[in-house]
Structure 1
């Protein structure tokens, strides 16, 4: 067995990497949706509202993987009848047939895995929650660097109302959902929980 064959990555490893990249792309897409819907439109965060977006993104990536598999198969069929030297990176020849077959299998497996995840509501909600955290991190950085709310004085701050709106949005995006999640995890069952309006009064 050659050293080249020993160093060839396993199919499962390549598929896992492909699925990881697809998940990262999905989180980025969802993060942008959350920022637009909550910060621009002023909507409250509801994880279930973004589950269809997560599913649609995964399915679109699965379609792309299937298209890659079909393209590799077409190229493999053409390459197996070509025995001359290659004229470029994508000018495949008979010696490339095995690699093209492997690429087709990898893409097919990635597409299958993505479609399975698209049908898993728990997986979709995990992606949405990760995207929400990423959106909050971006908002928090912007607020920390631009607004400096701790030192702000309304009478000295000409953009106070605009800044206050941004603080309110960040409160709806993260603080209240985080408080609710903490209470669910700790199992507390208080008869009266702070409402959004109550929390906003102190902003």
Structure 2
């Protein structure tokens, strides 16, 4: 399990990174998707809520570890699964509970510290802007790319030409044949049939006048 202080520090770092990710996403949604202005005070309040929520999760995990240790105490049989603890696990469960509670305490202290909250919001804002800037740069690189600057241009050009020969041109030829067959069918339908009766005028078979 390692030293308790080291485990608490690692847990706080992980929770802090998770909080920054949540706040960054909130900043992107509010400012980019909804078109709202960046309000540091409002995001500071959201950052406090996020830290307290993460602290609550750690406290709930500590309470779960306490119950698990209580159920495991006095059991010396073989374990039936990963979370089927026995008496030999109670020491680690108590240490785990202490670590969870230590992380929760630190997160609540961060939430009550205006400076820590402000730094968290600023870091989250910088991360959000980094995402926006990276997306813009990728888009500009794609739209402004010249064939001589693209190292993959020749390879992708060969793939596109092969797709043109094997897929697009055969589909176009089949489409043209379909149109041509349709035109031939229309011409055949319009031509007089040999079995059709000869035209008559005033009761006279006009075909008899031929020749």
Q: TM bucket by the smaller chain?
A: 0.5 to 0.7
Question: Quick check: 1:24 aligned with 2:17?
Answer: yes
1:87 and 1:148 map into 2 onto residues whose CA distance is: 56
Flag the structure with more relative contact order, 1 or 2, with Cα contacts below 8 A and sequence separation at least 6: 1
Q: What CA deviation, in whole Å up to 9, does each residue of 1:3-39 have, x standing for no partner?
A: xxxxx51111000000001110010001001101111
* Alpha-carbon distance in 2 for matches of 1:135, 1:150: 23
Q: Which runs of 5+ in 2 are unaligned?
A: 145-211
Q: CA deviation at 1:148?
A: 5.6
Cα shift readout 1:25-74 (whole Å, capped 9, x = no counterpart): 01000100110111112122222220011000111111100000000000
What is the aligned counterpart of 2:138 among 141, 145, 148? 145
- Equivalent position of 1:60 in the other structure: 53
Task: Give the distance between the partners of 1:55 and 1:129, measured in 2 at CA.
Answer: 14
Return the alpha-carbon distance in structure 2 between the equivalents of residues 29 and 57 of structure 1. Answer: 8
**Cα distance in 2, alignment partners of residues 44 and 61 from structure 1:** 26
**Counterpart among 133, 139, 143 of residue 126 in structure 2:** 133
Q: Secondary structure of 2:85's partner? A: coil
Aligned to 1:45: 38
Which residue pairs with 1:12 in the alignment? Answer: 5
Which whole-Å CA distance do the structure 2 matches of 1:114 and 1:141 have between them? 31
CA distance in 2, matches of 1:100, 1:150: 56
Answer yes or no: is 1:116 the counterpart of 2:116: no
Q: For the residues of structure 1 that align with 2:115 and 2:143, how far apart are their CA atoms?
A: 38
Larger Rg: 2
Q: How far does the alpha carbon of each residue in 1:120-173 deviate from its partner, in whole angstroms, 9 at most, with x for none?
A: 11101101000011001100011111146996xxxxxxxxxxxxxxxxxxxxxx
Per the alignment, in what secondary structure is the counterpart of residue 88 of structure 1? Answer: coil
Partner of 2:80: 87
- Stretches of 4+ moved more than 3 A in 1? 147-151
Question: How far 1:81 sits from its partner (Å)?
Answer: 2.2
Q: What secondary structure is seen at the aligned counterpart in 1 of 2:55?
A: helix
Q: CA RMSD of the aligned region, Å?
A: 1.6
The CA deviation at 1:95 is 0.3
May I ask how many residue pairs the two structures share in their alignment? 144
The secondary structure found in structure 1 opposite 2:76 is coil
Structure 1: runs of 5+ lacking an equivalent: 1-7, 152-203
